[in-house]
Structure 1
Amino acid sequence: MIRVLLTDDHTILRDGIRALLSQQPDLEVVGEAGNGQELLELLVDTPTDVVLMDINMPVMDGFATIEHLREQYPDVRVLVLSMLNHENYVHRMLEAGATGYVLKNADITEITHAIRTVAAGRPFLCTEIGLDMLYKIVRTTALPTDATRPKTGELSKRELEVLRLISEGMTNAEIADKLFTSKRTIETHRQNIIEKTQAKNTAALIKYAVSNGLLNE
């Protein structure tokens, strides 16, 4: 059982998250706090695995709170749940010691997956933020010249379809479900795409799709 402590100054949001998490058999909400100070007081007597915490809070905000958490409760994982999507906020919280960052507009499936991921000690970044950062990298990276750019025609129709879905952040399993085929088949398509485009990673694949105008088709 993963013990979760909710920290947000909006009671209605805490109530909603508690109700949704109560439907998960492996997650238990062990307490609620309206700000960082209340959180630290609760942790004294409340064994907790994951703190699901906002940044903008009265009395003690997320930035100040996480410093105390890292000093006093280094084994407690922090998953930021915020509407702040700017990369500066994400970087500051992760740099300060948060294990994950998810936006409040994420669906419950992503939030519960994030909780389980950080509870296991693995970092988590929600899909929306991850893709935004990836696209910024793509836009600021020099695109290949016409002389060096692989020709779009080298990819088959199905490979182009798979490439577009990869660019949307979908996993091999999700693409397989969408295209009604096996994960192994998608892995084969992905490998063929990598070989044809000479892309070394997902960011390079997205850069290829952007440079060839495939994301708008």
Structure 2
Amino acid sequence: MSEIRIAIVGLHHVLNEGIEALLFSIPEFNVISKHLYVVDFIDSEIAQHAHILIINIPKVESKTIEDVEIVGKKYPKIKILLISFSEQEQTIFNIIRAGVKGFLAHDSQRSDLIEAVYTLRNGHDYFSKCITTILLSRYVHSIQNNESISSLKGIETLSSREIEILQLWGNSFTNQEIAEKLFISVRTVESHKTHIMQKLQLKTAVDLMKYAIKNNIIQI
């Protein structure tokens, strides 16, 4: 893979340098700038050369959302990866709507960071497991309460068993736990999950979440 140019923004020099150190050993990764504030990155000449912008902040605030929107408008090709302690449902929805393509929770590992950078550069979104679980749980809740589910193409084709598995999936049950609870095999659970995504014409759980948010199936 060709060089991936990365910019880092965070309120603390030490943390920014720490993220750079975590990325240093990957030959394709090139950290081209580090800034304390997003506005400094936006105003820099090097911004136009970045592929990935990593924003590392303890808490997502309204200013964060505004900054993400500004970056998206001025540099639409840059993929934004957010690292934050904020894991509130409302915050996650708002930041995704603003244009964040990746979200890592505070307990993410170095391997998650590396995978996220590669994934974003390849044109896909990346959310750590706990973030995906929060989004999926909210989506399942909307199904249970019949919130605009008719607008999601294919939802009416899901069987009662598939809905049941989707609900357990959204509540963080593993394949093994789902299998034990429903008295079926793990392979059957995996098969049902595949059918669910096929019927909804989606490829990943993240696709499901983003589709639900985009189409206001998840209300925020």
Q: TM-score range by the shorter chain?
A: 0.5 to 0.7
- Residue 45 of structure 1 corresponds to 46
Residues in 2 aligned to 1:166 and 1:99: alpha-carbon distance in whole angstroms? 32
Name the SS for the 1:200 alignment partner.
Answer: helix
Deviations 1:103-149 (A, max 9, x none): 13200111111111111221111111111333444467549xxxx87
Residues in 2 aligned to 1:66 and 1:84: alpha-carbon distance in whole angstroms? 15
With normalisation by structure 1, the TM-score equals: 0.63
Q: CA deviation at 1:165?
A: 8.1
Residues in 2 aligned to 1:149 and 1:123: alpha-carbon distance in whole angstroms? 29
Name which of structure 1's ranges 60-69 and 97-106 shifts more when overlaid on structure 2.
60-69
Residues in 2 aligned to 1:92 and 1:161: alpha-carbon distance in whole angstroms? 28
Structure 1 portions without partners, runs of 5+: 151-159, 168-185, 204-217
Q: CA deviation at 1:163?
A: 2.8
Runs of 4+ off more than 2 Å = 54-57, 132-143, 160-167, 186-191, 199-203
Name the SS for the 1:93 alignment partner.
Answer: helix
Answer 1 or 2: higher relative contact order, Cα 8 Å, separation at least 6.
2
Pairwise mapping of residues 193-208 of structure 1 onto structure 2 (< 5 A)? 194=192, 200=196
- Residue 209 of structure 1 corresponds to none
- Residue 112 of structure 1 corresponds to 114
Structure 2 portions without partners, runs of 5+: 146-159, 163-172, 181-185, 198-203, 206-220
Pairwise mapping of residues 112-191 of structure 1 onto structure 2 (< 5 A)? 112-138=114-140, 142=144, 162-164=175-177, 190-191=190-191
Name the SS for the 1:3 alignment partner.
Answer: strand
With normalisation by structure 2, the TM-score equals: 0.62
TM-aligned CA distance change 1:55 to 1:90, over 3 Å: farther
- Give the letter for the 2:72 counterpart: R
Deviations 1:44-94 (A, max 9, x none): 23410000013568xx94222112212211111111111111121211111
- Residue 157 of structure 2 corresponds to none
- Give the letter for the 1:163 counterpart: Q
Deviations 1:157-208 (A, max 9, x none): xxx98432899xxxxxxxxxxxxxxxxxx757733xx39xxx83699xxxxx
- Residue 8 of structure 2 corresponds to 6
Residues in 2 aligned to 1:68 and 1:77: alpha-carbon distance in whole angstroms? 13
- Give the letter for the 1:5 counterpart: A
Name the SS for the 2:46 alignment partner.
Answer: coil
TM-aligned CA distance change 1:187 to 1:127, over 3 Å: same
Q: Match for 1:27 among 29, 35, 43? A: 29
Q: Match for 1:68 among 66, 70, 74? A: 70
Which structure's CA Rg is the greater one? 1
Q: CA deviation at 1:17?
A: 0.8
Q: CA RMSD in A?
A: 3.5
CA contact (8 A) 2:11 2:57 kept: no
Q: Identity of aligned pairs, percent?
A: 19
Name the SS for the 1:79 alignment partner.
Answer: strand
